[in-house]
A and B are shown apart, each in its own frame.
Chain A
Amino acid sequence: MPISVVFESLSASSPEGVLLDVAAVLILLCAFACLGSKLFDRYVIYYGAQSIVLSFAAAVVALHQGDAGLWVLAGLTFLIKGLGIPYGTRHFLIERFALKRDVSLSTGLSSSLIFGAFLTAFAFLAIRSDTVPDALVAQAVLPISTAVILLGALCMVVRRHTIAQLIGWLIIENGVFLGAIATVATFPFIVEAGVFLDLVAAVLIMIAFVSGLARQLAEASAPELRQLTE
């Protein structure tokens, strides 16, 4: 069945559409909260909250479509991203290295928030035009997921700390999945892709753990870290 038919009823006015819109807005707020925070355990809390909202959004679409794959994705998102990754990051990285405040920022918090607002506006302008021709999804979801991807990237750019970069990447991934479940929910590889990216996240945490990079990066000043740059 063509996707356009599936989504005819998922427009902004349907109850599911409204729920999706609300979920998307919450996900965007969590991304902003991460961007505006300096404490490591806050990053993890906001990311976990964002993932739980995402799993809720996946469940809404799964209910709407009766799609078993999406139910699996919703469950996995809740368990792995909502609970597993935040727990792993907190237990293996933040507590092990006794990390408190992230000081290796390249811009101030307020300027990165302002820049984040610009990126969000840009996402709305870019997606509002008919870039995606027959998007019949709940109005706000697609531009918001684009904004979340950009905010995650911004997090990775303005923070030098390994854990901040890890969280930035995880936020990007949440943005991708928000867009994916809303626009191309019948995508056959969605569960596999989700599992796979979780695996990547696990490897990232493992490398940070093994290398103790977290501590090095927290203690060293920026120029000393640049051993590898030309």
Chain B
Amino acid sequence: MIALAIIVVLLPLAPALATAVTARARPLGTVAVASGASTLAVAVAIAADVGGGHRVHALSGFLYLDPLSGFFLATIALVVALASLGSAAYVRAQEQRGELRPLQVRLYFIFFAVFAAMMLASFETGNLGLLWVLIEASTLASCVLVGLEGKPVSLEAAWKYIIISSFGVTIALVGTLFLYFAASSLPGSPTEHLTWSYLFTHAHALSAQSLRLAFLLALIGYGTKVGLAPMHTWLPDAHSEAPSPASAMLSAALLNTGMYAIIRFQALTRAQLGTHYAARILLIFGFASVIVGALFIVLRGNYKRLFAYSSVEHMGIIAIALGFGGVLGFYGALLHTLTHAIGKAVLFLTSGDLVLRYRTRLVDEVRGVLSVTPLTGAVLLLGALAIAGSPPFGLFLSEFTIVRAGLQRSSIVLVAGLLVLLGVVFVALVGAAAGMALGGSPDRPTSAPAYAERSGRLLAATPLVAGLGLLLLLGVWIPGGLDQLIMNSIRAIS
């Protein structure tokens, strides 16, 4: 098991090693796809192993796996696999057009690999100090991806991204320090005072005052990474300027990594202070995010920014679900994490195809995708429907669960407010996607197809079709293994 845990972090690094031999996108993409697929297989094996409620605790807590880590590991590995397929196609196409130089291709695959490895590693540690280091390392790696295209706008986005995230992460460090301080009266070694499982079993003895501050600071700090409003301002810029497969990784993987850290802190806070304190704060930030997301989705403009604001909105929904709490609330939050990750990966990869085809990021300049490239158009339309929470896709089920949790455990006013906001988002998002997919004939003559070769088209289409298929599947049937994994994750944190 320990061997598997190490392999799953090392596997994604394969493309980074391969860049030592070649700077061509085709072989690097092949390595990336192979490593992404095998990472997914190993992560699912780990999730299946810990899914039964089994825990792994080794190296004095530096390596720690429970069902919750298994769930996040499998989710992020799935995103990495989808984004690797997308990267193989996108980077090759950009290379052929001369948009990316060999150095940039190399940098892309190196930092994509490190980014994936750091995120996967952060789910495997029980030490909150190491968790902080790994999450910060993933920010550093992804920052290179945001600025990769080297244009002034993308460099400005990279600057904004790293300066705001570093600020957030410094606040998260202060939160971690306060947590350590809260544990100072416990017996046990300093390392144990940072080990999540030790803290969780001794949560009742943590100093309440310090723990309150620790949770608030950790939520603001890691919340910056998650993109909770009002700390979300880096998110639309970074998502719209990064190459599309990297945007998919940011939105579907990085945000969830931050949320994972918040869930761990929330578990400690609930165990000591009861549910109310953490719930209230999460609801405030959650609703702020959904409101900000909804307002900016209505504005349209740039479609990658549109999807980015949709991520802010969905992270808000997950925070609200965590705030509602209870088995239903947590079930909804975790299921929504998975369904949103798949849906958003699909949408950002689709946006990559659109960028290549139309060479613009503006909603109003993209018309008639369905007639120009039927597959991309269909995926865009269905993906937008799915992400907006329409049945029969998985997000409908998870949002429905969250609404039920709210009715059961919170006030009807909050639930009604959430439903109104979801309605606004639905109309705006589906409206924009429908305009792009259907529309009239394209205003501007469309240039060459997105992918010159058949193999490129196939590579680009695979993650889209696979992702949509999975979303459809999750909308009608939740496999027994997944259900058990989520239920045991909830048991692990309550």
A and B associate in one complex: yes
Instruction: List the interface of chain A (C-beta within 8 A of B).
Output: 2-4, 130-134, 149, 153, 156, 162, 165-166, 169, 172-173, 176, 179-180, 183-184, 186-189, 192-193, 196-197, 199-200, 203-204, 207-208, 210-211, 213, 216, 225, 227-228, 230
Contacts of A166 in B (CB 8 A): 163
B125-153 contacts to A, CB under 8 A, are 129-130, 132-133, 136-137, 140, 143, 147, 152-153
Given contacts A133-B210, A183-B177, A211-B156, contact A204 B163 (CB under 8 A): yes
Q: CA separation between A207 and B136, bound complex, in Å?
A: 17
Chain B 228-255 interface residues, beta-carbon cutoff 8 Å to A = 236-237
Which B170-190 residues have a C-beta within 8 angstroms of A? 170, 173-174, 176-177, 180-181, 184-186, 190
Cβ of B296 within 8 Å of any chain A Cβ, yes or no, is: yes
Known pairs A169-B166, A173-B170, A207-B143; A184 contacts B156 (CB<8 A): no
Q: Which residues of chain B are near A133, meaning CB under 8 Å?
A: 207, 209-210
Whether, in the assembled complex, B103 has its beta carbon less than 8 Å from a beta carbon of chain A, the answer is no
**Chain A residues, Cβ within 8 Å of B237:** 228
A-B contacts, 14 listed (Cβ < 8 Å) = A2-B185, A3-B184, A132-B209, A134-B185, A153-B167, A162-B159, A169-B163, A169-B166, A172-B170, A188-B191, A189-B133, A196-B137, A213-B155, A230-B299
Residues of A within 8 Å of B153, CB to CB, are 227-228
Cβ of B194 under 8 Å from chain A: yes
- Answer whether residue B5 sits at the interface, using C-beta atoms and an 8 A cutoff: no
B194 touches A188 (CB 8 A): yes
- Cα-based distance from A26 to B425 in the complex (angstroms): 51
A228 to B162, CA, bound (A): 15
Assuming the contacts A187-B180, A230-B301, asked whether A132 and B159 have C-beta atoms less than 8 A apart, the reply is: no
Say if the beta carbon of B418 comes within 8 Å of chain A.
Answer: no
- Does chain A have a CB within 8 A of B157? yes
Of B153, B181, B209, B296, chain A has the most CB atoms within 10 Å of the CB of: B181
Point out the residues of chain A lying under 8 angstroms from B140, CB to CB: 199-200, 203
Q: Determine if A4 and B184 form an interchain contact, defined as CB atoms under 8 angstroms apart.
A: yes
**In the complex, what's the smallest C-beta–C-beta distance from B104 to chain A, in angstroms?**
13
* Nearest B residue to A166, CB-CB: B163
User: With A199-B140, A213-B155, A230-B299 given, is the CB distance from A131 to B213 under 8 Å?
Assistant: yes
Assembly CA distance A81 to B379 (angstroms)? 50
Contact A207 to B147, CB < 8 A, known contacts A133-B210, A196-B136, A200-B136: yes
For the complex formed, measure the closest distance between the CB of B225 and the CB atoms of chain A, giving whole angstroms.
14
Q: Check A230 against B210 for contact (C-beta < 8 Å).
A: no
- Determine whether B121 belongs to the interface, using a CB cutoff of 8 Å to chain A: no
Shortest CB distance B38–A (Å):
29
For residue B457, CB closer than 8 A to chain A, the reply is: no
- B158 within 8 Å of A (CB atoms): yes
**Closest approach, in angstroms, between the C-beta of B111 and any C-beta of chain A?**
12
Q: Which of B157, B207, B209 has the most CB of A within 10 A?
A: B209
State the Cβ distance, B64 to closest chain A Cβ, in Å: 15
Asked whether, in the complex, the Cβ of B155 is within 8 Å of the Cβ of A204, the reply is no
- For residue B202, CB closer than 8 A to chain A, the reply is no
Binding site secondary structure of chain A: helix
Within the assembled complex, what's the spacing in Å between the Cα atoms of A227 and B155? 12
7 interchain residue pairs of minimum CB distance? A189-B129, A211-B155, A3-B184, A186-B190, A188-B190, A228-B237, A200-B166
- Separation of A145 and B194 alpha carbons in the complex (Å): 22
Known: A2-B185, A153-B167, A156-B163. 8 other contacts (CB 8 A): A132-B209, A176-B173, A180-B177, A189-B130, A193-B173, A213-B156, A225-B156, A228-B157
Complex Cα distance, B237 from A227, in Å, reads: 10
Which chain A positions have C-beta within 8 A of B130?
A: 189
C-alpha spacing A199/B133, complex, angstroms: 11
Instruction: Report if A131-B184 is in contact (Cβ < 8 Å); known contacts: A176-B170, A207-B155, A228-B153.
Output: no
**Min CB gap B215→A, angstroms:** 14
Within 8 A of A (CB), among B108-130: 129-130
Q: Does B24 contact A (CB under 8 A)?
A: no
Closest Cβ–Cβ distance, residue B28 to chain A (whole Å): 23
Mask, B188-222, CB within 8 Å of A = 1, is 00110010000000000001011001000000000
Please, which residues of chain B bring their CB within 8 A of the CB of A203? 140, 143, 162
State the Cβ distance, A169 to closest chain B Cβ, in Å: 6
- How close is A112's CB to chain B, nearest CB, in angstroms? 18
Contact call B213/A204, Cβ cutoff below 8 A:
no
Distance between Cα atoms of A122 and B408 in the complex (Å): 40
Chain A residues with Cβ under 8 A from B163's Cβ? 156, 165-166, 169, 204
Q: B162: which A residues are within 8 A, CB to CB?
A: 200, 203-204, 207
Q: Are A189 and B152 in contact (CB under 8 A)?
A: no
The closest CB in chain A to the CB of B136 belongs to A196
- Smallest distance from the beta carbon of A80 to chain B beta carbons, Å? 16
Residues of A within 8 Å of B155, CB to CB, are: 207, 210-211, 213
The interface residues of chain B lying within 8 Å CB-to-CB of A200 are 136, 140, 162, 166, 169
Q: At the interface, yes or no: B264 with Cβ under 8 Å from chain A?
A: no
A183 to B237, CA, bound (A): 37
Report whether B210 and A189 are in contact in the complex, using a CB–CB cutoff of 8 Å: no
Nearest-CB distance from A86 to chain B (Å)?
A: 18
| Bound Cα distance A180, B176 (Å) | 10
- Name the residue of chain B whose CB is nearest to the CB of A201: B166
CA distance A122 to B207 in the complex (A): 24
Contacts of B181 in A (CB 8 A): 3, 132, 183-184
CB of B129 within 8 A of CB of A192, answer: yes
In the assembled complex, which residues on chain A have CB atoms less than 8 Å from the CB atom of B404? none
- B26 interface residue (CB < 8 Å to A): no
- By beta carbon, the residue of chain A nearest B128 is A189
Cβ-closest chain B residue relative to A208: B159
Q: How far is the CA of A46 from the CA of B132 in the complex (A)?
A: 29
Chain A residues positioned under 8 Å from B210 (CB to CB)? 132-133
* Distance of A2 Cα from B181 Cα, bound (Å): 10
Distance (whole angstroms) from the CB of A162 to the closest CB of chain B: 7
- Name the distance in Å between A219's Cβ and chain B's nearest Cβ: 13
- Chain A neighbourhood of B301, CB < 8 A: 230
Question: Does B160 interact with chain A (Cβ within 8 Å)?
Answer: yes
Which residue on B lies nearest to A189, using beta carbons? B129
